[in-house]
Amino acid sequence: MDAIWLQTLLLADSTVRLATPLVFCALAGLLSERAGVVNIALEGKMLGGAFAAAAAAAVTGSAWIGLLAACTFACALALLHGFATITHRGEQVVSGVAINIVVAGLGPTLADAWFGQAGRIPLPGSDARFAPIELPGAGGAPAIPVLGPLYAEVVSGHNLLVYLAVAAVPTVAWILAKTRFGLRLRAVGESPEAVDTAGIGVEALRYAALLSAGLLCGLAGAYLSIAQNAGFIRDMTAGKGFLALAALIFGKWRPVPAVLACLLFAFADAAQVRLQGTPLPFVGTVPTQAIQALPYLLTLLLLAGFVGRAVAPRALGRPYVKDR
């Protein structure tokens, strides 16, 4: 009994770890897409954040400076995205693809040139990473039956960025629902002309949304390179940005369902690692690749309307052009 409980807890623990970058990115996608800007560039912005975090942390030896660098660089990419899609009304998907590809090439190029490590940046010391945080009482908690191990294994012992992700969920949901910025952001994704004629600048608002999204992507990237792992490697996001996008759509562009979808996808990923080769009851051995493909298949099914209907923000993907 205890062994199964412990296994479950370990599974939950790794789900949380794997879900963290997805949650940051899904929330980032939420902010920009609810404001009407398709954000296919989550992947690139997160990768850029991971690169900048590792580079800065490797040079300065400070995780905090790494974090700052990640957010700054991701925001710079967001500004570029905005410059193309908002200021110049460029095609949003194309500019997202461009950012993804530029960053995918730029990271390894610069890593090579600056650190001479064939596309990698290793971190020198432990100060350059965010260490796990032992919450108060976690040491003695396992003595308490059932809930004790839960507290010690799943709740405690994560790094700062994990807790930040947990905090980000209600924060973003609250901002969207209860604040002026949130109201305007939701409005500009549905009807930019209504926002414009209400005396609010559409461009500034969309830039603000993209920048907040950039900030969250930076956090996701920093988590990958200076918290979860120790350093930057080529293509380390490995499609997590797209997975987050899938979660966002699966959550129908709403914060809580999107985060639940992130947890579901992360759980599938965590289970897949643990289940490799182990036969499951009823279905037998499931190929890892089937579980890897599961989130994408689920999203396809959702998009096809076989599991509910996802209605995108009305102005999503449309640059704002005043009509005559």
Partner 1 sequence: MGCASRLPAWVELALLPALNLAIAALIAGLVVVLIGEDPLEAVGLLVYGAFGYGEAIGYTLFYTTNFLFTGLAVALAFHAGHFNIGGEGQAYLGGLGATLVALHWGQLPSPISIPLAVAGAALFGGAWAFVPGWLYARRGSHVVITTIMMNFVAAALMTYLVVNVLIKPGQQIPETDIFAPTVWVPPLAPLSASLGLDLGRAPVNHSLFLALVCCLAFWAFVWRSRFGYELRVVGKSEAAAIYAGIAPGRVTIVAMTLSGALAGLLAVNEILGSQHRLVLGFTGGYGFVGIAVALMGRNHPVGIVLAALLFGALYQGGSELAFDMPEISRDMVVVIQGLVILFAGALEHLFRAPLENLVSRLQVAR
Partner 2 sequence: MAAPAIELRGISKRFGPVVANDRVDLVVEAGTIHGIVGENGAGKSTLMNILYGYHRADAGAIRIDGVPTRIARPIDAIRAGIGMVHQHFMLVATFTVLENLLLGAEGGPLLAAGAARLRAELARIGREHGLDVDPDARVGDLPVGLQQRVEILKALCRGARVLILDEPTGVLTPQEADELFRILAALRAQGRTVLLVTHKLREIMAVTDRVSVMRGGRMVAHRRTAETSREELAELMVGRKIQLRPDKRPVRPGRPVLTVRDLEVADDRGVRRVKGVSFEVRAGEIVGIAGVAGNGQSELLEAIAGIRSADRGEILIAGRPVRGASNARPRGVGHVPEDRLRMGLVGHLPASENAILGYHRRRDYVAHGLLRRGRIVDTCAGWLERYDIRPRAPLMPALAFSGGNQQKLVVARELEHDPELILAGQPTRGVDIGAIEFIHGRLLAMRDAGKAVLLVSVELDEILALSDRVLVMFDGRIVGELAAEEADERRIGLLMAGIAAEAA
Which residue, 48 or 218, has its beta carbon nearer to partner 1?
A: 48
Contacts with 95 (C-beta within 8 Å, 6 or more apart), sequence order:
41, 81, 84, 85
Closest CA relative to residue 79, chosen from 242, 235, 184, 213: 213
Return the bridge partners of 279, or none. Answer: 285
106 near partner 1 (CB under 8 A): yes
Which residue, 57 or 84, has its beta carbon nearer to partner 1?
A: 84
Q: Tell which one of 196, 294, 296, 317 touches partner 2 (CB under 8 A).
A: 196
Residues 16 and 154 sit within 8 Å (Cβ to Cβ):
yes
Residues 168 and 71 sit within 8 Å (Cβ to Cβ):
no
Q: Residue 17, Cα to own-chain centre: how many angstroms?
A: 12
171 near partner 2 (CB under 8 A): no
203 near partner 2 (CB under 8 A): no
184 near partner 2 (CB under 8 A): yes
305 near partner 2 (CB under 8 A): no
Q: Which stretch binds partner 2 (CB under 8 A): 59-67, 70-78, 144-152, 316-324?
A: 316-324
Q: Tell which one of 6, 7, 105, 137 touches partner 1 (CB under 8 A).
A: 105
Which residue, 179 or 276, has its beta carbon nearer to partner 2?
A: 179
Structure tokens at 127: 């100060």
Could you say which residues in the range 234-253 bind partner 1, by CB under 8 A?
Answer: 234, 239, 242, 245-246, 249
Q: Which of partner 2, partner 1, none does residue 239 bind to, with CB < 5 to 8 Å depending on kind?
A: partner 1
Q: Tell which one of 180, 282, 289, 321 touches partner 2 (CB under 8 A).
A: 180
34 near partner 2 (CB under 8 A): no
Contacts with 15 (C-beta within 8 Å, 6 or more apart), sequence order:
263, 266, 267, 269, 270
Residues 259 and 172 sit within 8 Å (Cβ to Cβ):
no
Shortest Cβ 93–partner 1 spacing (Å): 5
Report how far residue 127's alpha carbon sits from residue 158's, in angstroms, rounded to the nearest whole number.
16
Q: Tell which one of 62, 72, 117, 191 touches partner 2 (CB under 8 A).
A: 191
Report how far residue 65's alpha carbon sits from residue 130's, in angstroms, rounded to the nearest whole number.
11
Q: Which of partner 1, partner 2, none does residue 307 bind to, with CB < 5 to 8 Å depending on kind?
A: none
Closest CA relative to residue 290, chosen from 280, 237, 306: 280
Which residue, 170 or 279, has its beta carbon nearer to partner 1?
A: 279
Structure tokens at 230: 């120790």
Phi then psi dihedrals of residue 229, to 5 deg: -115, 170
324 near partner 2 (CB under 8 A): yes
Report how far residue 20's alpha carbon sits from residue 2's, in angstroms, rounded to the nearest whole number.
27
Element housing 159 (H / E)? strand 158-159
Sites of contact with partner 1 (CB under 8 A): 38, 40, 80, 83-85, 88-91, 93-95, 97-110, 112-113, 118-119, 234, 239, 242, 245-246, 249, 287, 289-290, 292-293, 296-297, 299-300, 303-305, 312
Sites of contact with partner 2 (CB under 8 A): 178-184, 186-187, 190-191, 193-201, 314, 322-324
